[in-house]
Amino acid sequence: MAARQERPSDRFRGSWGKRLGLALALITAVALGGTAVPGVAQAKPDVVGGTRAAQGEFPFMVRLSMGCGGALYTSQIVLTAAHCLDRTGAITNITATLGAVDLQSSSRITRTSSYVYRAPNFNESTYVNDWALVKLSSPVTGLATMPIATTTAYNSGTFTVAGWGAAVEGGGQQRYLLKATVPFISDSSCSSSYPGEIVNSAMICAGYSQGGTDTCKGDSGGPMFRATTSGGPLIQVGIVSWGYGCARPNAPGVYTEVSTYASAIAAAAASL
């Protein structure tokens, strides 16, 4: 299994854990990108089959310097994936880039991290409980945050994913934010695509049976979201977690189901 990051113990999309189990040979053949950050796992996925997002379209999007994505949960806290990080603690060497679809834009906002909270029961072999919080050194003003789902009411339909990850499997990170839409896939169908892996009720899957559109290397930790009503406000339903490769047929993206952990996320954020 692989995460969508570059940590050898993660899965193909985040880091490389689960997918690593089934495709170690493939993973080692894939070029890795990103810059190592002490104490932080290195991430790898991006949006395959996506189009460029417009400036200001998703103001809550965050790029983390270890090669992961995230979303502004509050003005000072970023929600991301546990597999992007090694531990809980006063980690101050992560840089968050916000407020610009172009990572090189002169108008981009940056903040360093002051503390990281990694889900204490995260399982590195199954990717259960794959969520984490990064507290920024100071609040970010002028950018919208994104609420998270607290019930399963929005865990179906068509979702949007976005990130600066690779646009093709094995590719490099992107300068510009890409976006794509992917349809919900039931747990039973998702499980049949990943024999021997754990796809449980705390995970949510999305993608196309024919492949072609997916999150990828460098998108780990980024949000999967949808409108609450037609044309209504956006709500986060998932966190990019893992999958086999990127945009392969019958290999949908597997995401942390945010509603399962909503109470724990809120409690952890309140304690930071």
75 burial via Cβ count (<10 Å: 0-12, 13-18, 19+): middle
* Non-local CB neighbours of 232 within 8 Å, separated by 6+ positions: none
Residues annotated as catalytic are 83, 130, 220
**Structure tokens given for 189:** 């169908």
Let me know: does 127 contact 18? Beta carbons within 8 Å: yes
3 state SS of 128: coil
Q: What is the DSSP-derived secondary structure letter of residue 131?
A: -
C-alpha span between 75 and 237 (Å, rounded): 19
Positive or negative, the CA dihedral 101, 145, 173, 46 is negative
